[in-house]
A and B are shown apart, each in its own frame.
Chain A
Amino acid sequence: MKMKLLTAAAAAVMAAAPALADLVIVDTSYRTGPYAANGIPFSDGYQDYFTLLNERDGGIGGEMVRIVECETGYNTEKGVECYEATKGEGALVYQPLSTGITYQLIPKATADGIPLHTMGYGRTSAKNGGVFNWVFNYPANYWDGASLAVTHIADQNGGDIAGKKIALVYHNSAYGKEPIRTLEGLAEKHGFELSLLPVDHPGQEQKSQWLQIRREKPDYVLMWGWGVMNQVAIQEAVNIRFPMENFIGIWWSGSENDVKAAGDKANGYKALTFHNLGSDYPVYADIQQHVVGAGKAAGAGDQVGTVLYNRGMYAAMLASEAIKTAQEMSGTSDITSAQMRDGMENLEITEAKMAAIGLPNFGPEFKVSCENHGGNGFGAVSQWNAEAGSFELITEYYQSDQDVIGPLVDEDSAAFAAENGIEGGC
């Protein structure tokens, strides 16, 4: 009798539980709160790409992807709670989309053996895979961004920017402060004058900073902002008539959301990017057919093709390619998080691969290795076309100054290794 009851109970549990797929992807999203306008398109893109693979291809390597979404509200404590609550699901990789959450998760994920992919954010020196075994920040990081911006300015000035004035308007947080060391190094190398203008969270009031810019008349302004700080900064730049083509934001300050409030006068504003823009790629037709059109989109389906949707989709594409690599390496389709780490460490993105999945020329080619978890630091500059209502690429992809960044990565990762008693090495 007892056996019958147990069997019945087990059968009931199995019938009630959802069918568990084998590849678990956790989406630590933020669809609520002050940063929701940015969190929603990224999360939609991230999830829609995996849904596309499920619907069109039957998953990855024959295994369906199960997406577990957890709302962080861009709050570090909630992000850590999400990690703790979902890691037991068998998560293969985390993409926190927050530098604050990333810093908290680095020791936890390392201890738990789950890789983090902090694409274009997080701790820059995680590029050194010898120290940060479980953290990846390919294809580019903040220091690459700082260098790419300075290279673009140099290109605009015939290669000579000695004596030029460059101001950095930055979010007064770990994220915003990341590029300072690199910019100081580049200022020394190129002879430009750097001024630093921190903006306190959330950045709704920036009058002091922009009055200072108006007084000191820098030739260029760089911006490391997020959320409302971006919109207010662009509006204040318009107000003081700062030339928009000399105002360059990092990739987190370069979405449609950031320029919308300032209207037509934001025309010409520039932002860096490490992936392409728009929706003129074959994969979007598939997303429309298999995901949005089929009513399976993560959101309302109204974000497809926006800058941050593309970024979320690109992150999902890189994760899925790492899964494929891991499956090939391990000879099993049902991979573990440790095998996922190996897949990420051996990931190679080529033009042929991107073309085959319907994203030709969508981003730079790069190869990850144990020594280099950060890619090759290629990026491009985009510019806002207010009339067309879109950002457009205005340069080819070019590489950051590895001579400056390399030693900084080594120095910072060595300090982390010393603090945490990590021997390092590949």
Chain B
Amino acid sequence: MPEQLVFAMEVFLNGLMAGVLYALVALGFVLIYKASGIFNYAQGVMALFAALTLVGIMEGQVPFAHLINAMFGTEIHHFGWHVPALLAILLTMVVMVGLAWLVNTIIFKHLVNQEPIILFMATIGLAYFLEGFGDIMWGADIKKLDVGLPQGINEAIDEVTYGIFDYGFFIDNLDIVATVVAAALVFTLIIFAQYTKQGRAMRAVADDHQAALSVGISLNFIWVMVWSLAGFVALVAGIMWGTKSGVQFSLSLIALKALPVLMLGGFTSIPGAIVGGLIIGVGEKLFEFAIGPMVGGATENWFAYVLALVFLVFRPQGLFGEKIIERV
């Protein structure tokens, strides 16, 4: 087999894996948009906040330590304990549920029936507040996140592909874990939405707020639940991306990677986020591999958007999005 084709196959597989990581971020956007029609600008910052909280809890970091020390002249930084990863993840989820309740109670409860642009602006405010709040709460330093996920080349794939192609493929163990986790997450979310009472209520709210209210569904409860789910997805994305780069404030920028995925997959479809992520991941990696060297490289960021735009021209609602028809 020609060498370039073998390389392209490796790039293809890595593109799929990268796409899963993009999809993890996109899922959070989809959940909230689907249930409330809000494009949550703060989703990237929620991933950052969740990861910061997770590391803080694991390391026994005192929240607001700098503020407390500055105000009272103390020198406290750590509680002196380390919390196991699984327990820390559960505690972080409790924090994210609390955040969801606060966000709904303080902001969105008062904005029911407002124009989508108003809700969008509110999430911009939320994003900047949450970023600053996270900074004050946990500090701006880069934190190593280790919840026990494997990283580095997968030896088995390397050996098997070497036996076949005389060239061992590089697949990162962390990417494999992310793929399994994403698959489980999507499966669970779909089951939840289709077969549980709360899931059906969530879909009813997504279809028509007022009709859902009229049959006794609590809009507040559903919104808190959806923001909690988005918080959980943000935590998963934060763990995966934070393990790669350390937990730091640029983590909030991963939202930029989700936008073309949403444009392509549609804002209202959970499977769309996954398929969109895979198409974007594979598309940008193969384009960089084949065309990048001819045009000086660094094509991935813009090519993802070009790819999404091409799909938009033919399917404005995205591959799996719901067609919006307004009758006069």
Contacts and interface: CB of A to CB of B under 8 A. Distances in A.
B172 A295 contact: no
A263 to B, nearest CB: 6
A259 to B, nearest CB: 10
Contacts of B285: 207-208
A34 B151 contact: no
A202 interface: yes
B11 A208 contact: yes
A300 B69 contact: yes
B66 interface: yes
A197 B245 CA distance: 19
Given A32-B135, A208-B11, A295 B73 contact: yes
Given A37-B141, A172-B298, A240 B170 contact: yes
B265 to A, nearest CB: 18
Contacts of A129: none
Nearest to B174: A239
A202 B257 CA distance: 11
Q: Is the interface of B mostly helix, strand, loop or mixed?
A: helix
Contacts of A2: none
A204 B245 contact: yes
Interface in A20-63: 31-37, 40
B90 interface: no
B249 to A, nearest CB: 5
B239 to A, nearest CB: 13
B152 to A, nearest CB: 5
Contacts of A204: 241, 244-245, 250-251, 253-254, 257
Contact of B244 (A215, A235, A240, A257): A235
Given A208-B292, A261-B142, A200 B10 contact: no
Interface in A203-224: 204-205, 207-209, 211, 214-215
Interface stretch (A91-99, A104-112, A226-234, A350-358): A226-234
Contact of A260 (B144, B153, B241): B144
The CB with the most chain A CB atoms within 10 A, among B135, B140, B152, B301, is that of B140
Given A198-B297, A207-B14, A211-B14, A37 B172 contact: no
Q: Which 8 A-B pairs have the closest CB atoms?
A: A261-B246, A34-B250, A198-B298, A36-B140, A228-B250, A172-B298, A200-B301, A208-B288
17 contacts: A31-B140, A32-B132, A33-B249, A34-B252, A37-B142, A172-B297, A200-B300, A200-B301, A202-B253, A205-B257, A205-B300, A207-B14, A208-B14, A239-B170, A240-B153, A260-B142, A263-B144
